Structure 1
């Protein structure tokens, strides 16, 4: 009880501190405080998201969505991101008031939850298309905010503290987020369709207002750089948008580590996301999952991740980001494999404990590796191009999964997806090898052997 009071007291002190008091703090204290507030923001953010996002797939099925429309719930947002990431990243890089812009983008994204809550009031033939459109369009402010947040927080949290700081954030986000999903699923099942869904979608927007308030308490005075970006020079602007993008791509491809990581990630994300719509369809149509079961599956996943984060932080500190990324991602083929042989939600839930531990390493290493290989200057623009490339593959991945399902059925579609995931993970092993070889070239010229990793 005493520890709880201390923790609550720390939270209140962090959020109540005035600007004058912050200005007198040493930079080290500001960084510590920002890391804590980043954790608080993550917790409130995941509450808002998990009140709605995990149930959109089932909501779509109940609205009468076809398999194709369920696939569009993944492909649609990826397409919108593809169109908005690069101009959004350039816009963020040029703005000195990034924190304020990010708050507005978060508000716009969460505003769509209110619209989704009204969809059952429309005619039955328009509900599923409206949901697909809303989920796609809400990803425009969401994707730009995500790019901006990654660039913003990379200047707030020093590289030496990122692994532990983001692991703590992710660990608590997973724990709180899963409890929210568990409670929300039960509420929806008790209240029923469609009112239960409408209540939680509206609540997601209300919590988002608190999320923005917490985010605004991050002190950006210690950020490394907040000036306008110079990647879009006057010369490039005079060439027009297309010529500017071509010049940007040329510059990106001169950044060897970033280029290799981008290409490997595009392959990996395609393999990772191909079975996503299949999981939802299999859970609901074959295994008969309701909202409570969706919550339980998330709970099992979180249980594994709570154990996994500590292990993967040690691996990252010992082996580096890229090698840890391969070591964790090589095991994600287990998920479609288990689905292919499973005829019980209980079996899936048990294996979710293992996959939760695995994916905690994948998510942590993906993010930290991206920040490691991305140049400090114009970071939001680089991340925008990276995310655009990733989403380019993600547009095709869910539709490829649905096509595999239609052609092969669930079992063989899952087997193909498992093989794809192994191949996708191997790309990070190749990138890690190339990075080690590149860094060892000076030694190689003197005849020094490079030990194998």
Structure 2
């Protein structure tokens, strides 16, 4: 299969499906460009003297908003005939935060930039929640139940390739341009990807969804009881979400630890940090292809078990070395397993509930995920203060391993 064939819809697609497929892929390219700035945001704060806790807030703040508002946003979106405008508009707002961050060194002294950056990212937490809920709904609408692996493997492959190239370029800019202008250039330049994303994602055409009937005059308690009953009635969903929650807890714990470990323990420069992130993002292109083949020949359970096990080992391997070249190899291997995990978690989640209630179930799943990503980064940074950055990575590995064992026991 050539790379060109990966950028077009599968055979048998309708003209609208083909056009939607193309828009989703190009949207992924825009997001790949914008995402190149993401690995350097915590590094930017760390180099400005931000505390471990402040770096952890970058992950904890959007997670807190997600935990508080995801279910409410899901209930709202469930009543909308079209979620595409909400998806594309909210995404543009989130990526605009990179541009605003890039402007800060022009207008503020260094000792105020950390707080101002955190305020900017706090303001876009609700739009980020909207994006997270809408994403699964929109992608499922574009792909359908039989095309999810195909669509997402192609989108994420091209996104990964784009991000890898852009991150490598960002790392070189940061290493060659004098601070503080180097970070300004990166944040402003790569936020242009948000405009590409908005142009194409806002033009995705999906049929209107029929909102579920509302019971007039129902009390808040009655609606909450109905919601809980709807969730509990899907046992496969509850089982999968419990195990996924444990895995995400272990993963989120390490999110602020990795950049801190690179800067403070390994003492890697920005160019090497760019190479590490490029290795992890670039290998996704091949990882998606590998796991797509395995899903067809060995099934989803094979993909689920091997990817959760492989990613459980990753933080532990990094914790035992300060060799930046070896860390780059580990990051590349983790990228292969991450590709499979992205695919299998996305597909398995959407199998566990009725499609007509997508916004409701996805929002609940997002709320649980945000609970772990809200608390775990803060726990991780607190652990790092007491047992060191390497010790925090080992705790992350242990929690991921527990999640793997839970999936192993399940049927």
Q: Same fold (TM over 0.5)?
A: yes
Write the distance in 2 (CA, Å) between the matches of 1:301 and 1:111.
25
3-state SS of paired residue (1:96): coil
Aligned to 1:347: 326
Q: 1:207 to 1:410 in 2, by over 3 A?
A: closer
Check whether the contact 1:80–1:137 (CA below 8 A) recurs between aligned residues.
no
Aligned to 1:87: 72
Q: 1:205 to 1:229 in 2, by over 3 A?
A: farther
Check whether the contact 2:164–2:278 (CA below 8 A) recurs between aligned residues.
yes
Q: How does 1:281-320 map to 2 (within 5 A)?
A: 281-320=260-299
Quote the offset at 1:423 in angstroms: 0.4
Q: Any unmatched runs of 5+ in structure 1? A: 15-25, 434-453
Check whether the contact 2:81–2:211 (CA below 8 A) recurs between aligned residues.
yes
Aligned to 1:273: 252
Determine whether 1:40 maps to 2:26.
yes
Q: 1:239 to 1:293 in 2, by over 3 A?
A: same
Q: Which moved more, 1:26-35 or 1:57-66?
A: 26-35
Aligned to 2:93: 108
Aligned residues: 406
Write the distance in 2 (CA, Å) between the matches of 1:198 and 1:104.
24
* Aligned pair partner of 1:96 in 56, 67, 81: 81
Aligned to 2:167: 181
Write the distance in 2 (CA, Å) between the matches of 1:195 and 1:374.
48
Quote the offset at 1:374 in angstroms: 2.9
Deviations, residues 44-82 of structure 1 (Å, cap 9, x unaligned)? 1221222x2111011111222101111111111110111
Quote the offset at 1:204 in angstroms: 3.5
Q: Which moved more, 1:402-411 or 1:156-165?
A: 402-411
Q: How does 1:184-333 map to 2 (within 5 A)?
A: 184-220=170-206, 223=207, 226-230=209-213, 233-235=215-217, 238-240=218-220, 244-333=223-312
RMSD, aligned α-carbons: 2.4
Q: 1:415 to 1:101 in 2, by over 3 A?
A: closer
Q: How does 1:360-439 map to 2 (within 5 A)?
A: 360-431=339-410, 433=411
Write the distance in 1 (CA, Å) between the matches of 2:395 and 2:159.
32
Write the distance in 1 (CA, Å) between the matches of 2:304 and 2:216.
39
Q: Which moved more, 1:419-428 or 1:381-390?
A: 419-428
Determine whether 1:162 maps to 2:144.
no
Higher-Rg structure is 1
Q: 1:419 to 1:182 in 2, by over 3 A?
A: same
Higher relative contact order (CA 8 A, sep 6+): 2
Q: Any unmatched runs of 5+ in structure 2? A: none
